[in-house]
A and B are shown apart, each in its own frame.
Chain A
């Protein structure tokens, strides 16, 4: 099985031949999230890792994110081969359905590389209002019927780990989960190791506190975000999460 033409990945069921495990774990605490192992069939997994390497080898414009200490680049504005699955309508539909996002919205996606020794992150909930430029000419946002004007916030975050090789406790690079933004980064409730072909996804809300943990080995991942309008978010959660982001932003500035 190799990756079909991305343009054929329109509906959720178009992903069926690509997926290996059909049993993903839904966990309710400390906030609703999904952990899935053996996500893609082996051939597709290898193709994704190969294209990830190619992308990093070819791109010289990977930006350095100072706040989160990684190198990254958008998938949407580049030729990324099989990685296009992560920006396909089917991928968007899969996760909006899993997390019950009914409003039309947006998708962004990119590749992240945490080099060995990347520093610890800090518990944050990913709620940060952004004015996504979805007008013509802008190349890093896919619009799935969402409003063109106004600010958006992340509704779902999806991390897929690949190209890392074997992982063992002590290698670091986990994504850790917390009850509160004040929790110490080294005392999480739970952690998801960056094992290859593993996926971690969660609904972004005021309580979805998570953080990258320092690593001894390189950690590569593909990250996709589904966005919803701020008004939609506020209607569900109020503006509490927005205020918290500003609060811990000051602490970790």
Chain B
């Protein structure tokens, strides 16, 4: 990956979904000192200091602790609820004044069989909604609300979208239970490629990061760090595969864009 030179300096603002998940938590822990993070999570607990939770030393409760530096801005949201995506973008912009990086790490995994569709389409509806539709919708709202009139700033800040996909989206994984997940991530790959093409005129990039299983086969920290590498690159329209053998950049279409 190549380094992009940015006219702007300072901390970038990252809007992150799935912040309480394995990857989201790792990203917050490793990178909150360099990004202002709006951490969107549905349930569970963020493992880093937030505006609602911080560390104290019981024997010296008023002491300033280094662990509390750079808290993330936590937003609890079920993005499947009506108007929640809009609310999340509004909150991020109200808190930070801008959004420079969108990382879609929220994920839905339902290992039901495709034959379950005989009685209900929930398996595909919910999985595609969370894994394919929501990431694009979030980027679209950020674009409409903040990015689309400021090409120069977008390029200066290296603004971009990183959608977390999976190696399972690039081939059939043996065994039952990943059909909906794999197909939804494959859809995300293609949607992101088109998004990259749509956003190119306003100077915003979009890429897919498709890691293999983490933390089983690659460390979660490596996946989180690769998100940052992608943010700092000038790639767009690419599927970046990450497995035990390292990184591979795959243009998602013959006309993959670099600018």
Q: Which residues of chain B have C-beta atoms less than 8 A from A59's C-beta?
A: none
Is A25 located at the chain interface by the 8 A CB criterion?
Answer: yes
Shortest A176–chain B CB gap in Å is: 14
Is B55 located at the chain interface by the 8 A CB criterion?
Answer: yes
The chain B residue with its CB closest to the CB of A12 is: B59
Q: Are B53 and A22 in contact (CB under 8 A)?
A: no
Q: Are B59 and A13 in contact (CB under 8 A)?
A: yes
User: Chain A 10-25 against B: per-residue CB contact (8 Å), 1 yes, 0 no?
Assistant: 0011011001001111
Is B58 located at the chain interface by the 8 A CB criterion?
Answer: yes
Cβ-defined partner of A24 (8 Å) among B45, B51, B52, B55: B55
Q: Are A34 and B56 in contact (CB under 8 A)?
A: yes
User: Chain B 62-80 against A: per-residue CB contact (8 Å), 1 yes, 0 no?
Assistant: 0001010000000000000
Shortest A243–chain B CB gap in Å is: 28
Is A8 located at the chain interface by the 8 A CB criterion?
Answer: no
List residues 32-72 of chain B with CB under 8 A from any CB of chain A.
45, 51-59, 61, 65, 67
Q: Are B52 and A16 in contact (CB under 8 A)?
A: no
Q: Is the interface of B mostly helix, strand, loop or mixed?
A: loop
Is A94 located at the chain interface by the 8 A CB criterion?
Answer: yes
The tally of residues in A whose CB lies under 8 Å from a CB in B reads 19
Inter-chain contact total with CB atoms closer than 8 Å:
41
Q: Is the interface of A mostly helix, strand, loop or mixed?
A: mixed
Distance, CA A25 to CA B54, complexed state (A):
6
Is A26 located at the chain interface by the 8 A CB criterion?
Answer: yes
Q: Are A97 and B61 in contact (CB under 8 A)?
A: yes
19 inter-chain pairs at a CB distance below 8 angstroms, sorted by A residue, are A15-B59, A16-B59, A19-B58, A19-B59, A22-B59, A23-B55, A23-B57, A23-B65, A24-B56, A24-B58, A25-B55, A26-B53, A26-B55, A26-B56, A27-B52, A28-B51, A29-B52, A94-B58, A97-B61
Binding site for A on B (CB under 8 A): 45, 51-59, 61, 65, 67
User: Beyond the given A13-B59, A19-B58, could you list 14 further A-B residue pairs with CB under 8 A, ordered by the A residue number?
Assistant: A12-B59, A22-B58, A22-B59, A24-B55, A25-B53, A25-B54, A25-B56, A26-B53, A26-B56, A27-B53, A28-B51, A28-B53, A29-B52, A98-B58
